[in-house]
Structure 1
Amino acid sequence: MIVKVCGMRDAVNIRAIETAGADMTGLVFCKESPRYVGMINSRSGLIPDFPDKSLADGQRAGECKPFVGVFADDMPQNIITRIYNYGLDWVQLNGEESAVMIDNLRRTVDPDIRSGLKVIKRVVIGCRDDFAMCAEYEGHADMFLFDISGNGNATDGCRTDWGLLAAYTGATPFLVGGDIGPEDAASLREIVHPMFAGVDIDARFETAPAMKDVALVEKFIASLKR
């Protein structure tokens, strides 16, 4: 089972989370997010901005687990720049991006900029009918991220209804995400679906925005994969 830990930014924290068992690291490139990974200003109108070398150099040296860049309705040139600068293995699209956009991005990047680039398309699921949105992306996205946080809220005692996943009949593997917390490992282990590939965790494992609690993540992963 894949465990993607999203909203990372600190190189030391990333290495620790990988050691704790994470399979994929998510870097958020959406400016409105408190977990935004920015580019370093070159202070020149001619020279492009450049990446945080503590993140980019380790990835280029092959020392990291796969990096996933998270975008939402961004301009293709911005996505391509970050694929190159941060050595992204995956691009996760959280907006209203079309299948045509995915195909165009892949053709532009693979193989010259990032050979074998893969794409995750996030789909927000509030009811069974929402899975119909996946049809457009079948054969275009490599994986879905089903955000099912809308039908459960840990603070009011409601739990996410993972039974909704039975309504998905597509052929593309998926991760589940949303309001997943440390206490959800047992219910996640009970998911039975041929396309279920793993989970995406983020805010509920943090000590501060973009800083994950290593011990908490390690305990969750051990419980999830036991």
Structure 2
Amino acid sequence: MVLSRPRIKICGITREEDAIAAAEAGADAIGLVFHPDSARYVPLEQARRIREALPPFVTTVGLFVNASGRFVEEALGHVPLDLLQFHGDESAAFCGGFGHPWIRAVRVRDSRVVVAAENTYYRALGLLTDAYDPDCYGGTGTTFNWDWLPSTPSMPLILAGGLTAENVGEAVRRVRPWAVDVSGGVESEPGIKSRRRINEFVREVTLTHETD
């Protein structure tokens, strides 16, 4: 049972002003995408500037998709990341090989996937559950069947996949996640966040928790 408001991560930040907007709205974390094939990819120097623009107590998450160990180390050398997020086909040994806290993203296509991931990636701080698409590693903008998620997960669940201000309230009530993760659902166009949509999303999560 989640006693406090679910934590909120605004992912796919590409601009300093969007990071500030997320922090001012009350987001707990932002995500920086280091996957070149993503519309929300951010170069390391820009990522560093975004990180420096943030106020205290906002977690900075670096998202990697099948990156080399050398590149992950390079990113850590450029940007003071608080948390690593692995969204590709990385092994548990790889994810835990950087001496840094990490979470594992899981593309959910049935009820067995999360249970298997809990057993394999048990050293992760949490599992980020996202919609399955055979052609991409996240950022699909689609939801999945939340009933596939375990009612009593063995580690914190971060719910992602097609979340918006319109459906996040239902998601919080049904799933009771530790955190929610949104990217496209708060954008005006890919990679460009909308301050209004960020505020609406955070407000909906907060109100749902307070009235539930």
TM-score for the superposition, normalised by structure 2? 0.82
Higher-Rg member (1/2): 1
Could you say what secondary structure the match of 1:183 adopts? coil
Could you say what secondary structure the match of 1:73 adopts? coil
Size of the alignment, in residue pairs?
Answer: 193
Pairwise mapping of residues 64-143 of structure 1 onto structure 2 (< 5 A)? 65-106=58-99, 117-134=100-117, 135-138=119-122, 140-143=123-126
Say which of 3, 28, 36 aligns to 1:31: 36
- Aligned equivalents of 1:137, 1:75: Cα separation in 2: 19
State, as a whole percentage, how many aligned pairs show the same letter. Answer: 23
Q: Is the 8 A contact 1:51 1:86 kept in 2?
A: no
- Deviation larger for 184-193 or 121-130: 184-193
Query: Structure 1 residues 165, 97: CA separation in 2 closer, same or farther (over 3 Å shift)?
Result: same
In the alignment, residue 98 of structure 1 is paired with which amino acid?
S
- Aligned equivalents of 2:18, 2:188: Cα separation in 1: 11
Query: Structure 1 residues 96, 166: CA separation in 2 closer, same or farther (over 3 Å shift)?
Result: same
Residue 191 (structure 1) shift: 2.5
- Aligned equivalents of 2:172, 2:82: Cα separation in 1: 27
Could you say what secondary structure the match of 2:13 adopts? coil
Pairwise mapping of residues 14-53 of structure 1 onto structure 2 (< 5 A)? 14-39=19-44, 50=45, 53=48
Residue 91 (structure 1) shift: 0.5
Encode CA deviations 1:118-173: one digit per residue, 9 max, x unaligned.
101001111112223311111x21111001366xxxxxxx9643222136x54221
Could you say what secondary structure the match of 1:124 adopts? strand
In the alignment, residue 23 of structure 1 is paired with which amino acid?
D
Residue 105 (structure 1) shift: 1.9
Question: 4+ residue runs of structure 1 moved beyond 4 angstroms?
Answer: 50-53
- Aligned equivalents of 1:101, 1:19: Cα separation in 2: 34
Matched, 1:200 2:181: yes
Partner of 1:215: 196
Encode CA deviations 1:35-90: one digit per residue, 9 max, x unaligned.
11113xxxxxxxxxx5555224335xx64611100001111121112123111001
Partner of 1:177: 160
- Aligned equivalents of 2:94, 2:180: Cα separation in 1: 25
- Aligned equivalents of 1:181, 1:192: Cα separation in 2: 15
- Deviation larger for 117-126 or 50-59: 50-59
Could you say what secondary structure the match of 2:147 adopts? helix
- Aligned equivalents of 1:74, 1:124: Cα separation in 2: 18
In the alignment, residue 163 of structure 1 is paired with which amino acid?
D
In the alignment, residue 161 of structure 1 is paired with which amino acid?
N
Q: Is the 8 A contact 1:15 1:64 kept in 2?
A: no
In the alignment, residue 120 of structure 2 is paired with which amino acid?
E
Q: Is the 8 A contact 2:187 2:193 kept in 1?
A: yes
